[in-house]
Structure 1
Amino acid sequence: MSQMTSTQSSHSNSTETDFNLLEDAEDADNHTSSVTATHLSLQFQVDEQYLGLRIDQVAATVWADFSREKLKQWMKDGHLLVDGNKIKPKYRCEGHELLTLDVELEVQTHNQPENIPLDIVYEDDDILVINKPVGMVVHPGAGNGSGTLVNALLYHYPKSAELSRAGLVHRIDKDTSGLLVVAKNLEAQFSLTKQLGDKSVYRVYDLVVYGNIIAGGTIDEPIKRHPVDRVKMTVLPGGRDAVTHYNVKERFQNFTRVQAQLETGRTHQIRVHFTYIGYSLVGDSVYMSRVRVPAGASERLAETLRGFRRQALHAAKLGLIHPRTQEEMLFEAPWPEDFKNLVQVLREENAAY
């Protein structure tokens, strides 16, 4: 079982989680609500920043988990009121209205629950923190309709079916291990989404790269989908801003163990950024054409490198503000066995001079 600590951590506000699923949330702190996973009752006090916008646009910004069309329908049906009154979606906001949403939620996902064991680091009525194993896909997609984290969540907590994406607010890649947080009600989902948006979620990854990185630094390069190979992301002008801070933790002859902290959360961000500066991750078959075995490597090291068939990347630390209690929480997950073994072999077979 992973270790968990709850602490008054003093992490920087310049960090953000990786691979955001949700768009940036607006002003979750303005919400007052009484929430279960089935009946939703929310209020939001509009301020001057929304002046002149259509009220359906404001609602879609405030409650980004629902489509604009769904919110418009709720307005027409009287479930979404403005200052207690039914109003047309084209109404222009004057900047001081009170939005009230009172509705019974439908099932949001039709994926099937599956009895898949979860490594639960922490759980209460609002959030679930999971240490995801290597090989588990987070969300069902083409070719991955079952065996995913969503399928496991639907079994563990059936009411997650009434939340968009079963409560997921971010994801990590199939072959990346480590921590992610899941919301258990919509209020928690709003809060966590806002924390992702304002970069107050703290996430630290451990990784092993090829080559000798001399010192820590920051990689600030935009990332977008590769124009030819659609499986890959790449650094290109016009991409989305992407910033990775990193520190060298351990040096070997031909490799470096690094700790990376994310300021932005782009798909494959760490893998793309380190490949861009010339230090690809061990085991990353997407961004490296082949396994590189250093000249003179022992048979044990060569076999370990060839047998390490996933990117050497582990989401080791996760810090957040609890949506209900506002407590600062920090969770840690130990390295999985394959990562631990890789580092041990490097220490013994590729020690620095």
Structure 2
Amino acid sequence: MRKSLSLSAAIPEEMAGSRLDQALAGLFPDYSRSRLQAWIRDGCVEVDGRHLRPRDRVEGGEQVRIRAELEANDNWEGQPIHLDIVHEDDELLVINKPAGLVVHPAAGNPDSTLVNALLHHAPELARVPRAGLVHRLDKETSGLLVVARTLGAHTRLVEQLQARTMGREYEAVCVGVLTGGGKVDAPIGRHPVQRKRMAVVLNGKPAVTHYRVAERFRGHTRIRVRLETGRTHQIRVHMAHIRHPLLGDPVYGGRLQLPPGATEPLVEALRAFRRQALHAWRLSLVHPATGEAVSWEAPLPDDMVRLIEVLREDARHLEVEPWDV
């Protein structure tokens, strides 16, 4: 479903000499520059009755009229699904998503998603692109997500994401013992054969992941991860690329690896942990309304807490203490 949009304004004299797309971005700050450029190219923008290019300069005083269409989320329905709301105000929501909850409706998951829960909690999100979602987490990844409640907040948060100024930090447990932290700078794209998977490929999009050691065990490492970019499955693909896949990852993790002499509780815990051990624990950004730098944290979910406790106990059982860094 789509809804019609009609906007009009006069270009101020002080904008004389600016590109058309720059002038429109100043006049209509609720809409991203890329969206405005698309409308210009699609012929949805008239300047004194003329169709111009995004790069054409304005003289000031022209009358601008925009007639366009916006996607409406009318086909998505709100559902009474519990939300763990970490923060809420007039501009945004911060949600602590549990593992197992799909973020966005799709062919295989038409409902019972985070979007359905959000629309039930805040029906006005039907007027915001993608129900306010600015970024996503995989179904089996837990942790913090920010949701924009207004069109202007959505535009400004997406700009932060694109400018790489939004901070997203994760906790994870990977297979193998890392000797230290590092950076993975490797492009990510669709797997050339298995199209439902992502992979490091030469023609992929730039992707940068930073990681550091938080705690070492006998056959695994607890790590803190910071993203520069936000590609699909980025952490999972990058850690698998350096041969330290996330514990429990059903897609990129390979066969289950048991440390030699693993205790029975550890064997049971590793076999029972069927999701990637990945949690988005910290989110930081500039508030779209106040301009204030804000951040939130979410503690590890119970399943990861229990997993780490078993890993520690296994190390103590064999008189090999975990190494806190």
* TM-score, scaled to structure 2: 0.84
Cα shift at 1:289: 3.0
1:93 maps to 56
2:256 maps to 291
1:350 maps to 315
- 1:159 and 1:350 map into 2 onto residues whose CA distance is 51
1:320 maps onto 2:320 in alignment: no
Which of 230, 255, 261 is residue 226 of structure 2 equivalent to? 261
Which of 143, 156, 161 is residue 196 of structure 1 equivalent to? 161
The 3-state SS of whatever aligns with 1:330 is: strand
The 3-state SS of whatever aligns with 1:145 is: coil
C-alpha change, 1:237 and 1:39, in structure 2 (3 Å) is closer
- Matching residue's letter, 1:88: H
1:181 maps to 146
CA deviation string 1:249-307 (max 9, x = no partner) = 00111110000101111111111111111101110010123322222111110110011
- 2:183 and 2:66 map into 1 onto residues whose CA distance is 43
CA deviation string 1:200-248 (max 9, x = no partner) = 0001000001111011111111111100111211112121111111110
The 3-state SS of whatever aligns with 1:300 is: helix
C-alpha change, 1:90 and 1:158, in structure 2 (3 Å) is same
- 1:203 and 1:164 map into 2 onto residues whose CA distance is 21
- 2:54 and 2:207 map into 1 onto residues whose CA distance is 37
Cα shift at 1:316: 0.3
1:331 maps to 296
Of 128-137 and 65-74, more deviation after overlay is shown by 65-74
Cα shift at 1:107: 3.1
- 2:290 and 2:71 map into 1 onto residues whose CA distance is 28
Q: Percent identity?
A: 46
Cα shift at 1:41: 6.6
Cα shift at 1:181: 0.2
Cα shift at 1:349: 1.2
2:86 maps to 121
| Number of residue pairs matched by the alignment | 305
8 Å contact from structure 1 (residues 65, 164) kept in 2: no
8 Å contact from structure 2 (residues 134, 147) kept in 1: yes
C-alpha change, 1:204 and 1:41, in structure 2 (3 Å) is farther
2:208 maps to 243
- 2:200 and 2:235 map into 1 onto residues whose CA distance is 11
C-alpha change, 1:64 and 1:272, in structure 2 (3 Å) is same
Of 111-120 and 342-351, more deviation after overlay is shown by 342-351
The 3-state SS of whatever aligns with 1:306 is: helix
1:209 maps onto 2:174 in alignment: yes
Which of 267, 270, 273 is residue 235 of structure 2 equivalent to? 270
C-alpha change, 1:223 and 1:106, in structure 2 (3 Å) is closer
- Matching residue's letter, 1:259: R
Could you say which structure has the larger radius of gyration?
A: 2
8 Å contact from structure 2 (residues 188, 201) kept in 1: yes
8 Å contact from structure 1 (residues 105, 162) kept in 2: no
- 2:16 and 2:220 map into 1 onto residues whose CA distance is 53
1:157 maps onto 2:135 in alignment: no
- Matching residue's letter, 2:114: L
C-alpha root-mean-square deviation of aligned residues, in Å?
Answer: 3.2
Gaps of 5+ in 1: 1-37, 76-80
- Matching residue's letter, 1:334: P
* TM-score, scaled to structure 1: 0.78
Of 98-107 and 136-145, more deviation after overlay is shown by 98-107
1:68 maps to 38
8 Å contact from structure 1 (residues 40, 105) kept in 2: no
- Name the structure, 1 or 2, with higher relative contact order (CA <8 Å, separation 6+): 1
Of 292-301 and 142-151, more deviation after overlay is shown by 292-301
8 Å contact from structure 1 (residues 52, 95) kept in 2: no
- 1:229 and 1:235 map into 2 onto residues whose CA distance is 13
Of 43-52 and 287-296, more deviation after overlay is shown by 43-52
Cα shift at 1:66: 7.5
- Matching residue's letter, 1:68: A
2:189 maps to 224
- 2:32 and 2:299 map into 1 onto residues whose CA distance is 37
C-alpha change, 1:93 and 1:276, in structure 2 (3 Å) is same
CA deviation string 1:140-181 (max 9, x = no partner) = 011100110111111111111111100111101000000010
8 Å contact from structure 2 (residues 169, 225) kept in 1: yes
Gaps of 5+ in 2: none
8 Å contact from structure 1 (residues 208, 257) kept in 2: yes
Cα shift at 1:187: 0.3
